[in-house]
Amino acid sequence: MDEAAARQMAEDIEKGEKILGANQSPQPDERVLAEVKKSVVAALRQRRTVVFQKRILGAAVAAAVIVASVLVIMRYGNTPAGNQQTRLIASSVWEGADDADVTVLKAEIENIQSELSEAQSDDAGGNGSAAVDDLETELIEVNGDIWKG
Amino acid sequence: MAQHDIDRVIIGCNKGDEGCFTQLVDIYGRRCFGYFYRLTGNRDLSDELLSELFVKLVEKISTYRGGSFDGWIFTMASNIFHDHLRFKQRQTRLLDEHSKRIMSQSAGTISGKDDDADKLQMALRELDSDVQELVMMRFYSQMSFKEIAESRREPIGTILSKVHRGLKKLRELMG
């Protein structure tokens, strides 16, 4: 848009707005404005009440949650023995075991386990099944020895 | 009223001060009524929309984030007017009237029986409803074209062109 067109546009707008200014709309009744003010004050009070009610409700919910939590803790706070994680090996066994003995027995177990695997994989051997049974018996005995100390 | 006085009133409103809200009615009530009246041509309806605007203001004042308060309140007034139009259109459809006629009519005739319309009101009816609303928004809110463009999310050139076209036609009709 060139300068002349812009100036013309500004002039048209100014003249048009002067017409609007010269033809004012009717004014609202004072009674209406007073009613609007009343409505605003009523809305404000209602809003305050709603906010207050929401706060009370929020506080009540929070209190209920706290009370429920306290009750749950009081009821289940002392963890029952059944819930405790059971040790697979009694601590007395671990404490009483001699490290050297354990090492020897572990080596023996590993040896038997490898023999057992060999026997199980030896399908061609005619005596395989009996050998496996023997080794398993031996393994059970050695395992039992460990925990006896 | 100076901007800092308006700011003070708004701070009071945010604190829930009843006096500050009634002050806002004193400051903006007449201008907003004029805006509604020029769009609807109906005094009773303008009263209703004015009341609705200020009640809504109680609810929304906390969302005002600075800037032109005039722009903010007139944008809300515009939204209320559009809500009213939509409501009337739905109502009219329910009554099985001709929707085509509604679209072609100005907002004023949609709202029902008009008051004794002055010459300007008659001329305004000749404008497109969008242009009519823009002209009224500009006049009553005293917002700049830039502010109007921002509030309506339209290019400033489009706003300028529509207002110019509307006011030019208004001059012709009033002349």
Q: What is the CATH number of the domain that holds B49?
A: 1.10.1740.10
Q: What is the crossing angle of helices A30-76 and B43-60, to 10°? A: 30
Q: What is the mean pLDDT of chain A?
A: 79
The whole-angstrom separation of Cα A99 and Cα A146 is: 11
In this structure, of A15-19, A37-41, B30-34, B117-121, the range with the lowest mean pLDDT score is B117-121
- Cβ pair A36:B51 closer than 8 A: yes
Q: pLDDT: is A16 or A129 the higher one?
A: A16
Candidates B129, B124, B127, B131; CA nearest to B163 is B131
A148 at B interface, C-beta within 8 A? no
Residue B154, pLDDT above cutoff 80: yes
- Cβ pair A16:B166 closer than 8 A: yes
ipTM for the predicted complex = 0.79
Whole-angstrom CA distances from A85 to A73, A88, A89, A147, B3 are 20, 9, 12, 20, 71
Which domain covers residue A131, as residue numbers? 91-148
Helix (H) or strand (E) holding B145: helix B145-152
- The pLDDT, as a whole number, for residue B29 is 95
Spell out the alpha helix ranges (H) of B1-144: 3-14, 18-40, 43-60, 69-94, 99-104, 107-110, 119-124, 129-141
Q: Label residue B77 by pLDDT band (50, 70, 90).
A: very high
Query: Is position A105 within any domain?
Result: yes
Contact B28, B68 (CB under 8 A): no
What digits encode the pLDDT tens for the residues A47-86? 888 888 899 999 999 999 999 999 998 888 765 554 555 5
B33 at A interface, C-beta within 8 A? yes
Q: pLDDT: is B94 or B7 the higher one?
A: B7
Query: Is position A59 within any domain?
Result: yes
User: Which residue among B25, B164, B170 sits closest to A9, beta carbon to beta carbon?
Assistant: B164
The answer on A126 and A99 residing in a single domain is: yes
The answer on A139 and A96 residing in a single domain is: yes
Domain total for chain B?
A: 1
What digits encode the pLDDT tens for the residues A10-51? 999 999 999 999 988 889 999 999 999 999 999 999 888 888
Query: Is position A22 within any domain?
Result: no
pTM: 0.66
Spell out the alpha helix ranges (H) of A3-98: 3-22, 30-76, 91-96
Query: Is position A7 within any domain?
Result: no
Taking contacts as CB-CB distances below 8 angstroms, the residues of chain A near B168 are: 12, 16
Candidates B130, B145, B137; CA nearest to B73 is B137
Q: In a mutagenesis test of the A interface, which of B51, B119, B161 is the best target, namely the one with the most A β-carbons within 10 Å?
A: B51
Q: pLDDT: is B107 or B94 the higher one?
A: B94
Q: Label residue A103 by pLDDT band (50, 70, 90).
A: confident
- What is the Rg, in whole angstroms, of the alpha carbon atoms belonging to chain A? 46
| DSSP per residue, A55-71 | HHHHHHHHHHHHHHHHH
Q: What is the crossing angle of helices B145-152 and B129-141, to 10°? A: 130
- Residue B12, classified by CB atoms within 10 Å of its CB into exposed (0-12), middle (13-18) or buried (19+), is middle
B51 at A interface, C-beta within 8 A? yes
User: Which residue among B25, B33, B138 sits closest to A40, beta carbon to beta carbon?
Assistant: B25
- The pLDDT, as a whole number, for residue A127 is 55
Candidates B170, B42, B39; CA nearest to B113 is B42
Domain finish residue from A64, A82, A100: A82
- Residue B107, classified by CB atoms within 10 Å of its CB into exposed (0-12), middle (13-18) or buried (19+), is buried
Contact B36, B133 (CB under 8 A): no
B97 at A interface, C-beta within 8 A? no
A23 at B interface, C-beta within 8 A? yes
Which domain covers residue B134, as residue numbers? 3-174
Helix (H) or strand (E) holding A116: helix A99-121
- What is the Rg, in whole angstroms, of the alpha carbon atoms belonging to chain B? 17
Domain total for chain A?
A: 2
- The pLDDT, as a whole number, for residue B112 is 46
